[in-house]
Amino acid sequence: MTLSRRVGPALFLTTAVLVAAGCSSNPPEQPPPDVTDQNLMHLVQLYSAYQSKHTKKTAKAPAPKPGPGKAAAADPTIPGSADELKTWAKTLPADELQKMGISGGELDGMFVSPRDNQPYGLAKPANAMMAKMGAMKVIFYERDGVDGKHMVVGGMGTRPREITRAELKEAVPEFGG
């Protein structure tokens, strides 16, 4: 038997095994999100639910237009602060929170960053349309952060990420840190 006849089947078998291993239907496991990531993702879910519920209410009764020289009222579809969002979230039925993967008992802790032990900041949108479209780069952010870096999260579909203090100041003009 020649060398090519012995190598051929071995090469074929090796290639088949490698292809089968590389084409496995099981994708590599993602590490579970840490508490900071989970908190931020849950906060965005609550923010979105708040907008949805309040949009339905305001669609039934539009706000009156301001008179001459008067400022327009704040958009009722956007929570004015993280505390306002938390107060509203505490009124939600337990089953509604469960659908978001939130237990009612963890609401208070969810609004505080475990990294800097400060309440998360809630960015004010440049305009209501940005917030409604989920186009805000940052919605929630760590106030103090760690080592000059802050965990932030934007609209639905974005993942929590760490940015520098300078990037946070650019994305959230009212951030004074």
pLDDT tens column, 106-126:
899 999 999 999 999 999 876
Identify the band that residue 22 occupies on the pLDDT scale cut at 50, 70 and 90. very low
SS3 state of residue 116: coil
Q: The domain containing residue 160 runs over which residues?
A: 34-58+75-177
Query: Does residue 23 lie in a domain region?
Result: no
Identify the band that residue 23 occupies on the pLDDT scale cut at 50, 70 and 90. very low
Check residue 149 and give its pLDDT.
Answer: 96
pLDDT tens column, 75-86:
778 898 999 999
List the beta bridge partners of residue 121. Answer: 141
Residues 33 and 44: their CA atoms lie apart, in Å, by 15
Per-residue pLDDT at 20 exceeds 50: no
Query: Does residue 12 lie in a domain region?
Result: no
What is the total count of domains within the chain? 1
Check residue 128 and give its pLDDT.
Answer: 52
pLDDT tens column, 149-175:
999 998 767 889 999 999 999 888 888
CB 159 within 8 A of CB 140: no
The region of weakest confidence among 99-103, 131-135, 152-156, 165-169 is: 131-135
Query: Does residue 11 lie in a domain region?
Result: no
Structure tokens at 166: 């300078």
Residues 40 and 108: their CA atoms lie apart, in Å, by 13
DSSP characters over 80-112: SSHHHHHHHHTTS-HHHHHHTT--GGGHHHHTB
Specify the pTM: 0.70
Per-residue pLDDT at 1 exceeds 90: no
Residue written as token pair 């090519």: 4
Query: Does residue 53 lie in a domain region?
Result: yes
Query: Does residue 80 lie in a domain region?
Result: yes
